[in-house]
Structure 1
Amino acid sequence: MSLPRSAAEDQGLSGAAIDAFVAALDSSDQEFHTVMLVRHGHVVLEADWTPYRSTDRHLLYSVSKSFTSTAIGIAVDAGLLSIDDKVVSFFGPEDLPETISDNLAAMSVRHLLTMSTGHDTDTVGSLHRDRRMAKNFLALPVAHEPGAPFVYNSGATYMLSAILQRLTGETLLDYLQSRLFAPLGITDATWSSSAEGVTFGGWGLSLSTESMAKFGQLVLQHGVWEGEQLVPAEWLAAATSKQVPNDSNDNPDAQQGYGYQFWRGRHNTFRADGAFGQFIVVIPEYDAVLAVTSASSDMQAAQVVFWDHLLPALEGKDVPEVARPERLEILPPTGPAPQGGDGKTYTFGENPGFLQSVRWDPDGSAFFTFYNFFRFEQDKAEEDGYHFGPGDWNEQPGLASDSFTGSDSDRVVTGAIGDGDALVGTIRWLAGPHAADFRCRIGEGRMTVDIQLNVSFEPTEFTIVSA
Structure 2
Amino acid sequence: MSLPRSSPAEQGVDARGIDAFLAALEPLPEVETHSLMVVKNGHVVAERWWRPYGPDRPHLLYSLSKSFTSTALGFAVAEGLVDVDATVLSYFPEWDGLVTDERSRRIRVRDVAAMASGHAGETIDEALAKGDGDMVLGMLLLPPDYEPGSVFAYNQPCTNALSAIIRRVTDGTLTDFLATRLFQPLGIDTYGWWVDRNGRELGYSGLHVTTESIAELGQLYLDQGRDLLPATWVAEATRAHVLTDQGNIDSSQGYGFQFWRSRHGYRGDGAFGQLMIVLPEADAVVALTGQSPDMQAVMDQLWIHLLPALTADDGPAGPWPAEWPELPGPVDAGARRDEWPDLTEPFATPPTATFEHDRASATRRVHTVRITPTELTLDDGRPVVAGWGDTSGPVIPYYAWDGGRIRVDVIFVEGPHRLRLTLDPATNTFAEDWQTEPLGPTPLRYLRMPTTST
Q: CA RMSD in A?
A: 2.9
Secondary structure of 1:328's aligned partner: coil
1:9-28 correspondence to structure 2 within 5 Å: 9-28=9-28
Contact 2:290 2:416 in 1 (8 A): yes
Aligned residue number for residue 48 of structure 2? 47
Deviation at 1:146, TM superposition (A): 0.9
Which residue in the other structure is 1:161 paired with? Answer: 163
Paired position in structure 1 for 2:334: none
The alpha carbon displacement at 1:222 in A equals 0.4
Q: Is the 8 A contact 2:104 2:141 kept in 1?
A: no
2:148 pairs with 1:146: yes
Question: Aligned equivalents of 2:317 and 2:297: distance in 1?
Answer: 22
Normalised by the length of structure 2, the TM-score is 0.85
**Structure 2 residue 297 is the aligned partner of structure 1 residue 301:** yes
Task: State the alpha-carbon separation in 1 of the partners of residues 203 and 421 from structure 2.
Answer: 32
Is 1:369 the counterpart of 2:359? The answer is no
CA distance in 1, matches of 2:351, 2:261: 52
Does structure 1 conserve the Cα–Cα contact (< 8 Å) formed by 2:417 and 2:436?
A: yes
Contact 1:386-1:396 within 8 A present in 2 as well: no
1:240 — aligned with what? 238
Q: Does residue 428 of structure 1 match 2:411? A: yes
Q: Distance in 2 between matches of 1:312 and 1:123?
A: 40
CA distance in structure 1 between the aligned counterparts of 2:82 and 2:317, rounded to whole angstroms: 53
- Please give the alpha-carbon distance, in whole angstroms, between the structure 1 residues aligned to 2:241 and 2:267: 14
- Taking the aligned partners of 1:202 and 1:451, their CA distance within structure 2 comes to 26
Counterpart code for 1:140: L
Alpha-carbon distance in structure 1 between the residues aligned to 2:440 and 2:80: 42
Cα distance in structure 2, aligned partners of 1:319 and 1:287: 15
Partner of 2:86: 85
Match of 1:251 among 235, 248, 260: 248
Q: 1:156 Cα deviation (Å)?
A: 0.5
Distance 2:284 2:61 in 1: 20
Give me the whole-angstrom Cα distance separating, in 1, the residues matched to 2:440 and 2:59: 21
Q: Are residues 450 and 429 of structure 1, via their aligned partners in 2, closer, same or farther at CA, if it must alter by over 3 Å?
A: closer
Does residue 1:346 correspond to 2:341, yes or no? no
Q: Distance in 1 between matches of 2:319 and 2:11?
A: 21
Alignment of 1:192-203 (within 5 A): 192-203=194-205
Please name the residue that 1:98 is paired with. Answer: 98
Q: Tell me which residue corresponds to 1:110.
A: 110
1:351-409 CA distance string (max 9 Å, x none): 53845222355x7x8733221xxxx44xx5xx84465xxxxxx65354xxxxxxxxxxx
Distance 1:350 1:15, change over 3 A: closer
Q: Deviations over 1:3-61 (max 9, x none)?
A: 11011111111233333333334444410011111111111001111111122111111
Q: Which residue of 1 aligns with 2:450?
A: none
Give the Cα–Cα distance (whole angstroms) in 1 for the partners of residues 422 and 319 of structure 2.
37
Q: Which residue of 2 aligns with 1:462?
A: none
Specify every segment of 5 or more residues in structure 2 that has no aligned partner in the other structure, as ranges. 331-339, 442-454
Deviation at 1:421, TM superposition (A): 3.8
Query: Do the aligned partners of residues 11 and 360 (structure 1) sit closer, same or farther apart at CA in structure 2, a change above 3 Å counting?
Result: closer
For residues 174-216 of structure 1, the C-alpha deviation after alignment (integer angstroms, 9 at most, x for no partner) is 1111111111111112111222232211111111111111111
Q: Does 1:180 align with 2:178?
A: no
Residue in structure 2 matching 1:418, options 383, 398, 401: 401
Paired residues of 2:272 and 2:294 also in contact (CA < 8 A):
yes
What do the CA deviations read for 1:446-466 (whole angstroms, capped 9, x no partner)?
52414232354479xxxxxxx
Describe the SS at the equivalent of 2:398: strand
Measured after TM superposition, the shift of residue 318 of structure 1 is 9.8
- Contact conserved, 1:239 with 1:261, CA < 8 A, in 2? yes
Q: Is the 8 A contact 2:421 2:432 kept in 1?
A: yes
Structure 2 residue 391 is matched with structure 1 residue 396: yes
Cα displacement (A) at 1:123: 2.1
8 A Cα contact 2:8 2:315, kept in partner: no
Contact between 1:356 and 1:368, CA under 8 Å: does it hold in 2?
no
Q: Which structure has more RCO (C-alpha within 8 Å, separation ≥ 6)?
A: 2
**Structure 1 stretches of 5 or more lacking a match?**
388-393, 399-410, 460-467
Alpha-carbon spacing, 1:127–1:384, altered in 2? closer, same or farther (3 Å): farther
1:70 shift after superposition: 1.4
The whole-number CA distance in structure 1 between the counterparts of 2:126 and 2:187 is 37
Distance 1:188 1:450, change over 3 A: closer
How much does 1:244 deviate? 0.7
> For residues 66-93 of structure 1, what are the alpha-carbon distances to aligned partners after superposition, in whole Å with 9 as ceiling and x for unaligned?
1111111111121112111111111143
- The aligned amino acid for 1:9 is A
**C-alpha distance 99-211 of structure 1, shift in aligned 2 (>3 A):** closer
The match for 1:68 is 69
Aligned to 2:185, what secondary structure does the other structure show?
A: helix
